Amino acid sequence: NKQILLAKRPKGTPDKDTFKFAVKDIIKPRSGEVLIRTLYVSVDPYMRGRMIDAPSYVAPFELNKVIDGGAIGEVVTSESSHFSEGDIVIGGFGWQTYYTAKEDEVRKIDKDIAPISTHLGILGMTGLTAYFGLLEIGKPKEGETVVVSGAAGAVGSVVGQIAKIKGAKVVGIAGTDEKIKYLKEELHFDEAINYKKTEDIKHDLAKACPDGVDVYFDNVGGDISDAVFTLLNKFARVSVCGAISSYNLEKQDVGPRVQTVLIKKSALMQGFTVGDYSERFNEGATKLAQWLNEGKLSYEETMKEGFENIPDAFLDLFRGNNIGKLLVKVAEP
Ligand code: NDP
């Protein structure tokens, strides 16, 4: 069983020394357990937060232990009446090639609705984050302007499409021309801005949002968000999902204070984690699958191959090397 462990807690941007490879014996499943062969591993920005030893909504990774996180695998041996060999399951078993799970640690997924990898993306954690974060906090109405940062990523690309389904005008912010083309031509965003190319993001945003901003779905924080804040309309809603621009900073940055904007605009700003909506995951996943089947939603995956490439895939999130959900295929289904 190949595993990737947290070797040391990173300062600044993690690098290959943050991780360590190990080989351990496969543990034979006992009664009520299953042995899983890993097929797909998810790499996610929130994992950066778990690499430091600080209290958060999920416990920090432990040093010299397997990096856990969303993964999909195939049951190869079952000692549980709930699972059969060949079942495809999802769980938090993370960066290892095999895992012996208790039957309540994993959940079977339906192979027939969509490719199984989508359960780590559009039909899974990132899709649900977009769904609840936008609809429960952003609450876009027809004709309103929705701005989303990190727009071509796993969460952002779904946010923009749901906002379009709700009849909003959608403006995306992302970091490459290829992403801008994808947002406009494939996802039919009304406007898209390459924040790495613009000389004045405030100016470009103001041009893209002549009626101001009613909903801001924030995946990145930092300068980009500071610019969006200047355009908020009366009763705007800001859904604070992520702040990836700050995850690798050694010194916390301080931007413009937003209180006066919120007061003047009677605006709402709310952070959330997708787990806040765990009791409604079925509802969200059903709706996302329905939109997918109706052709109202589309998705992209950036699929890296090979167990050895998992750490590099994780680092790609911070280099912006992904369109849609970034995954690693560890073995053939
Ligand atoms: P993405 O697929 O969006 O991948 C990360 C993207 O972030 C990169 O492709 C890159 O795109 C962009 N990025 C990286 N560094 C910077 C930077 N310094 N400034 C601006 N953009 C940057 O990841 P996810 O969709 O999985 O996650 C998006 C956000 O949502 C993250 O902040 C994550 O932490 C958060 N999140 C929050 C959840 C919650 O429950 N609240 C759940 C899931 C995710 P580009 O080329 O555009 O720079």
Centroid of ligand 1 to alpha carbon of 161 (angstroms): 17
78 HSE (CA, 13 A, CB side): 16
Does residue 256 have a pLDDT over 90?
A: no
Is this prediction's ipTM beyond 0.85?
yes
Does residue 255 have a pLDDT over 90?
A: no
Question: Are residue 178 and residue 129 in the same domain, yes or no?
Answer: yes
**Nearest partner of 123 among 24, 40, 13, judged by Cα:** 40
* Residue 294 belongs to a domain: no
For residue range 164-210, list pLDDT tens digits in order: 999 999 999 999 999 999 999 999 999 999 999 999 999 999 999 99
Cα 64 to Cα 9, 23, 69, 308: the distances in Å are 10, 12, 15, 17
Does residue 42 have a pLDDT over 90?
A: yes
Where does a domain end: 260, 275, 290? 275
* Residue 268 belongs to a domain: yes
Q: What is the pLDDT of residue 252?
A: 83
The CATH number of the domain holding residue 319 is 3.90.180.10
C-beta 245 within 6 A of ligand 1 = yes
C-beta 121 within 6 A of ligand 1 = no
Give the start-end residues of each E strand in 24-168: 33-42, 71-78, 88-91, 98-102, 106-108, 145-149
**Number of domains the chain contains:** 2
Centroid of ligand 1 to alpha carbon of 240 (angstroms): 12
* Calpha distance 102→27 (Å, rounded): 12
Instruction: Indicate which residue's Cα is closest to atom 8 of ligand 1.
Output: 320
Question: Are residue 146 and residue 104 in the same domain, yes or no?
Answer: no
Question: Are residue 134 and residue 267 in the same domain, yes or no?
Answer: yes
Instruction: Indicate which residue's Cα is closest to atom 39 of ligand 1.
Output: 273
Instruction: Indicate which residue's Cα is closest to atom 15 of ligand 1.
Output: 318
Read off the pTM.
0.98
- DSSP conformation letters of 33-56: EEEEEEEEEE--THHHHHTSSS--
Which secondary structure element, helix H or strand E, spans residue 228, and what is its range? Answer: helix 222-229
Question: Are residue 132 and residue 268 in the same domain, yes or no?
Answer: yes
